[in-house]
Amino acid sequence: MADTTVPLFSLAELQKGADQERFRTCVTELGVFYLTEYGASDKDQQIATDTAMDFFEHGTPEEKQAVTTKVPTIRRGYSALEAESTAQVTNTGQYTDYSMSFSMGISDNLFPSHEFETVWTDYFDRLHAASRETARVVLNSTGTYDGGDMDTLLDCDPVLRLRYFPEVPEHRVAEREPRRMAPHYDLSIVTLIHQTPCANGFVSLHAEIGGEMVGLPAVPDAVIGLCGAIAPLVTQGAVPAPRHHVAAPDATMRVGSGRTSSVFFLRPTNDFTFSVPKAREYGLDVSLTTDTATFADWIGTNYVTMHALQKS
């Protein structure tokens, strides 16, 4: 197993009631963990990744344009290399995300082929089920859940994104730009991340733990669970939403620094309503000026900002 300071749990065992106190401590103090026995495998991830990578490498410009959404407030289909900027959303810079991606949700999807749709739908369904069960054990672990009927909350609007981070060019090494993606927390209840390691051993994904960014290496047949910004809103602030980023390698580690990351965001429905002052009290950066807001209000602003780079 890869060396990591972040605890590892079996979702199957958590569902049986095992490791409850250790998991509660991890969730409330760290907000990040590894999960095994969650309902998918490295093989499932590899099939979905290979399908997307084949399209990234061999799709024509016309085919890619056909599955690029024209709606800036949703994530569907293909997003080209450096088409997005998490740094712009978080007001931490103007640099781009050095990645390309493909995204799908429950509806309004854009697929390049029936084969692609079949493979991705199977993988999406596996991660959707896993994320719902993960959210359930996370929210139940604290004893402070106050988000109403949990089944209603978890009947939500998830998104799956496969991100490909190519080997960085010389102008994107850490000495010139420290990150491939800026520090941020996810606008989700929970996020599951199934990553492939860099060939040269560089650990690119980091999460903030105890005020420091800690490496999250790939662990065989395990996903990383990250508590998103909705978790504190429905647990009276008991669960943190840790910031995380994708670091750039230095010049000595540039060659072999490519990696992929399957990211499943279990997001609430657009009409999920929350208190803006409470969100700020829990440490969330919400720029909305109303006392209450919906998830659509919050995430829509972020998505438009993220894609504004394409229009400038």
Query: How, if at all, do strands 244-247 and 179-184 pair?
Result: antiparallel
The answer to whether 232 touches 166, Cβ cutoff 8 Å, is no
CB 88 within 8 A of CB 140: no
Dist CA 28 CA 138 (whole Å) = 9
Look up 75 and say whether it is catalytic.
yes
Sequence-separated (6 or more) residues with CB below 8 Å from residue 63: 55, 112
Q: Are 95 and 87 in contact (CB under 8 A)?
A: yes
CA 191 → CA 113, 115, 312, distances in Å?
27, 26, 30
Return the SS3 of 295.
helix
* Active-site annotation holder among 22, 24, 75, 254: 75
Contacts of 139 (CB under 8 A, 6+ apart): 145, 147, 150, 189, 231, 234, 235, 239
Active site residues: 75
